[in-house]
Amino acid sequence: MSKLDSDIIVIASGPAGMAAAISAAQGGVRVIVFEKAATTGGTGNMGMGPLGIESRHTRAKQFKPTRDEAFEIFMDYTHWRADARLVRAYLNKSGDTIHWLEDLGVEFVEPASYFPTAYPTWHLIKPATGRPGPMASGTMMKIMTEKAKELGVQIMLQTPVRKLVKKDGKITGIIAEDQSGNDVEASAKAVIIATGGFGNNPQMIKKYTGYDVGKDMHPFRIPGIEGDGIRMAWEAGAAATDMSMEMIYLMPDNMSLPPQVHEAFRQPHLLVNLLGQRFMNEAVMPNATFTGNAIAIQKDRCAFLFFDENIKKQMETDFDFRNIVFPITRFENSDQAIQDVLGQGYGHLFVADSLEELAEKTGIHFDGLKQTVEEYNQFCEKGYDELFNKPHRYLRPIKGPKYYVGRHFPSAYGSLGGIKINDRTEVLDKKWEVIPGLYAAGTDACTIYGDSYVFVLPGNTMGFALNTGRMAGENAAEYIKTA
Ligand SMILES: Cc1cc2nc3c(=O)[nH]c(=O)nc-3n(C[C@H](O)[C@H](O)[C@H](O)COP(=O)(O)OP(=O)(O)OC[C@H]3O[C@@H](n4cnc5c(N)ncnc54)[C@H](O)[C@@H]3O)c2cc1C
């Protein structure tokens, strides 16, 4: 067994862990980061950017919301089923965190909103390629890693932490495992947990959220994100919180689809459940959390978006919705793209020559579907959706001859919650008393969204990770002076 000693130990190197490590090192203390994977960054390598309120970028553009407004939006949205002190501390810090990242060398382009009814809080990272997009945040994680090393932070890759060490009620270190399977014991005055939740642990997802991965839940599965930090914190006496998924929706394995096919089946056409019934205003679909929620309460938790030949032709010229993540403007090369997907044996896209065939292939109830299409076509003729008030401009009749259908399921960027913290990111025990020397940040402790991810303020989870990471690093560095 090898033995190490530090002032602060940070478990994991995602945005929360790296923000914690850098902040603590900037506070002049010794830090070791233990990371399970062979590289740093975690899920933080996948995204486009964090939330920032009242950053110099939003101020320059006079973009709303202000900090007070953001707090009100947040608490209204969550019906105050969120720790208001923690929400306030996070939002208030978030603008400064954008500037702090810029001081480290991270560059941002103009803030954006994810969809039209969201606010422009999403600070898109300018990656090494120059063009923001998926995985741009990998550039941020590389810069943070280099900065941490410059500050003397020791990063132990492929060294997962297995257990916290607690003596006389205080956290005093960890036990990890090196690449040869040997124990590594490290002592410290404070430990910060930031292992990113349980998004790749189907057993935990089933137990704590009720979803069956691969059946009615198709989350992004980032290797290594298996609930380790939550388990270790609970073993050390931490209180548990509500746990949920960071809900969105998608066609399974969506990354394997040509982007124009992916986008075509997210346009505001006819969306039905297995009964053949509509269940939402399809114009709301760009809010992926709302759509995921609505699909999650349908029969077998699935939904079918479909369009006919005419609508497909219109999409060849222009899409109604343009997505900032996949900036595709039209259904280019549509027939070939659909044939390619079908040729690969993809099981969630269907083409049919009649509604009967469509019902047979998808399992949608035929009578329900027929009735819905008739009713929907009448709405299109009248120019008014009596059922859900979908805007007139999206009302296009479904008449055939061909029907194209994509099957959607609930998905998630990851999990949410597990470890109870206060507004200083200190971990609380079951009596809601602070466990001395133990902090948690990021997804493991992200319990602030009530029942639904606050997608109207985009960049929220990476924002929470970076800001609670900073808070944990600063507060732990302060704590160890007296510990
Ligand atoms: C495709 C995709 C796009 C996204 N885009 C955005 C976006 O644009 N904006 C946004 O706000 N959010 C986005 N998110 C969500 C965001 O990436 C996460 O909320 C954020 O990365 C969480 O940070 P974290 O530090 O808590 O955990 P993570 O980034 O998940 O990092 C956790 C780390 O813990 C390590 N680990 C696990 N167990 C152990 C152990 N026992 N010992 C040591 N290390 C361990 C893992 O290897 C990993 O490196 C996106 C997510 C996905 C999947």
Write down the residue that tokens 């991270």 correspond to: 106
| Ligand 1 centroid, distance to 470 Cα (angstroms) | 15
Whether ligand 1 lies within 6 angstroms of the CB of 224 is answered as yes
Residue 306 Cα to ligand 1 midpoint, Å, equals 33
Residue 59 contacts by C-beta under 8 Å, 6 or more apart in sequence? Answer: none
Q: Is there an atom of ligand 1 within 6 Å of 47 CB? A: yes
Q: Whose CA is nearest to atom 34 of ligand 1?
A: 195
Mutate which of 9, 11, 39, 43 for ligand 1 pocket (most atoms within 8 A of beta carbon): 43
- Residue whose CA is closest, atom 52 of ligand 1? 413
Q: For 191-237, how does the pLDDT look when each residue is reduced to its tens digit (9 = 90+)?
A: 999 999 999 999 999 999 999 999 999 999 999 999 999 999 999 99
CA 76 – ligand 1 centroid, Å: 27
pLDDT of residue 418: 98
CA dihedral 210, 212, 215, 221 (to 10 degrees): 120
Would you say 388 and 281 are in contact if contact means Cβ atoms under 8 Å apart? yes
Q: For ligand 1, is residue 225 a contact (CB within 6 Å)?
A: yes
Domains of the chain in sequence order = 2-243+417-479 (3.50.50.60), 248-411 (3.90.700.10)
As given in the structure block, the two tokens for residue 378 are 């009448």
> Best of 449, 461, 467 to mutate for ligand 1, by most ligand atoms within 8 A of CB?
461
Q: What is the pLDDT of residues 378-402, one digit of tens each?
A: 999 999 999 999 999 999 999 999 9
CB 389 within 8 A of CB 286: no
pLDDT at 220: 96
Is any atom of ligand 1 closer than 6 Å to the C-beta of 271?
Answer: no
> pLDDT tens, 32-91?
999 999 999 999 999 999 999 999 999 999 999 999 999 999 999 999 999 999 999 999
Contact 241, 420 (CB under 8 A): yes
Question: How big is the chain, counted in residues?
Answer: 483
Does pTM top 0.85 for this prediction? yes
Distance (Å, whole) CA 162 – CA 348: 39
pLDDT reported for residue 327: 82
266-294 per-position pLDDT tens digit: 999 999 999 999 999 999 999 999 999 99
Q: What does the pLDDT average to over 248-254?
A: 96
C-alpha of residue 144 to centroid of ligand 1, in Å = 14
- CA 399 to ligand 1 center in whole angstroms: 44
Average pLDDT (410-437) is 98
pLDDT of residue 407: 98
What is the rounded distance in angstroms from the CA atom of residue 86 to the CA atom of residue 446? 10
**Ligand 1 centroid distance, CA of 253 (Å):** 19
Could you tell me if the CB of 42 is within 6 A of ligand 1? yes
pLDDT digits (tens, 9 = 90+) for 107-137: 999 899 999 999 999 999 999 888 888 999 9
Ligand 1 centroid–CA 332 distance in Å is 33
DSSP H/E element including 237: none
**How many CA atoms are closer than 13 Å to the CA of 109, on its beta-carbon side?**
15
